[in-house]
Structure 1
Amino acid sequence: MSSKLKRGDNSGKEEEPVKINKWDGTAVKHALDDSVKTALMNLPNMKEHHAIIDGRLLICALAVSTALVALGYDYQYSFPASKRVLIVCVCFYFFLMGVLTIYTSYVEKGIFAVGNQKDEKGNQKRWQASSDMKKYDDKYELTIQLQDCHGVREATIDKSVAYFIDSNGTVLDDLMANELNRVVKSLNTDKKDK
């Protein structure tokens, strides 16, 4: 079975299949997330939506800017003179790290891909993919959520990573794409039944 899938800029080139250390749980989860994201973005009329990731980047940019202000001020005016500015910058930096933690826990919630899709009638659909994999577990839990004019529906896939990764550690993108297409089809059909 071929595990090659067009990735990236959809230029028509096929890339080598992704090979990972199958005993590294974090690498496995990230590789499967990348495979799902690629398959989701290859759906017809799908455009990636970056707002959730942009929020995290904004918070991180503010934190880095705060650190740079502290560094620059301390460089300009050596330590005893820069003490108050450093205290304010350090406090604001730790505040931003708390905001980042809350943001990733309650806003992102494991969401790694968001896409907007227009159907044949011009209706807007928003697809979200989130995943979870416990530390010493082989189960990969993928949740696909569809939000459209008919409401919000979601479906969950809970399978062993061995279903998506072969014995050599190669991610089987075709199997992941087939599983995702099955879920997408069921969520689209779910709307028609209501």
Structure 2
Amino acid sequence: MAGKKDKGEHKPAKVDKWDPTAVKNALDDATKKMMKDEFKCDEDHSLMNGRLGLSIVAVSFSGFAVLWDYLHPFPESRSVLIICASAYAILTAILTAYIMFMEKGIFYTGLEKDKAGIDPPSIWKFTSAQKKYDDVYELTVEYKDGVKGGDFIEAKLKSSVTKFVDENGTVREDIFMPRIKKLCEGLKVKKQN
């Protein structure tokens, strides 16, 4: 049947080209796909898990306060409400600091396993930015070799999104992905020297 698509067929993302957030997210997703397909990276979710863990604890304090107030109406529940509200405020402040200083805008952390399976995996970190009324997409790639260790080295891509998104809002993966792949391979070569 000519009308049916293959289940494995991939269609590039189509976005509203006038929405910088949607364009940035589509380019971020294309980067994730490229790291999975080309570099065989497994995504590391530990940063997101940390954020979710803090959020769950904060919301648990809120839920406990609501339940306690329901079972023991206000004058009796006053001290528990104060403790839970204070704990929620403190955890929210910790969560904000975690997002600012730990996540630092990282949208993808990938682990590239050693082909032999003996050495520790190499680590890839990607951050991106695009200002609200600007067409410039900035991508920062950090790489740490699993064998040699040491510090992360980084490379940057700064380009207009008009090079990567066509008139119809379709992400041009045939142009974007090779640029990212070349950037990543350059980091691996740089780390080996």
Give 2:88's aligned residue: 93
Aligned length: 183
Q: Which residue number corresponds to residue 3 of structure 1?
A: none
For 1:105, which of 97, 100, 104 is the aligned residue?
100
1:74 pairs with 2:72: no
**DSSP 3-state at the match of 2:38:** coil
**Would you say the 8 A contact 1:40–1:180 is kept in 2?**
no
Offset at 1:84? 1.4
- Is structure 2 residue 42 aligned with structure 1 residue 47? yes
Deviations 1:93-144 (A, max 9, x none): 1111111111111111110101111234543200111111122211110011
SS at match of 1:75: helix
Residue aligning to 2:130? 133
- Give 3-state SS (helix, strand or coil) of 1:179's partner: helix
- Give me the identity figure in percent: 40
Query: Following TM superposition, by how much is the alpha carbon of 1:150 offset from its aligned partner in structure 2, in angstroms?
Result: 4.7
Q: Which residue is 1:4 aligned to?
A: none
Equivalent-residue separation in structure 1 for 2:160 and 2:172 (angstroms): 13
Q: Please, what TM-score do these two structures have when normalized by structure 1?
A: 0.87
Aligned-residue offset at 1:57: 0.7
Structure 1 residues 150-165: aligned runs within 5 Å: 150-151=149-150, 152-165=152-165
Residue matched to 2:182: 182
- Stretches of structure 1 that go unaligned for 5 or more consecutive residues are 1-11
Deviations 1:54-92, CA, capped at 9 Å, x for gaps: 111111111111111111111111122111111111111
The structure whose RCO (Cα within 8 Å, separation 6+) is larger is 1
Looking at structure 1, the residues matched to 103 and 140 of structure 2 have their Cα atoms a distance apart, in angstroms, of 13
Cα deviation, 1:5-41, whole Å, max 9, x if unaligned, reads: xxxxxxx622433221111122222121111111112
2:51 corresponds to: 56
Aligned to 1:147: 144
Change (3 A) 1:44 1:27: closer
After superposition, residues 3-22 of structure 1 pair within 5 angstroms as 13-22=8-17
Cα deviation, residue 176, structure 1: 2.4
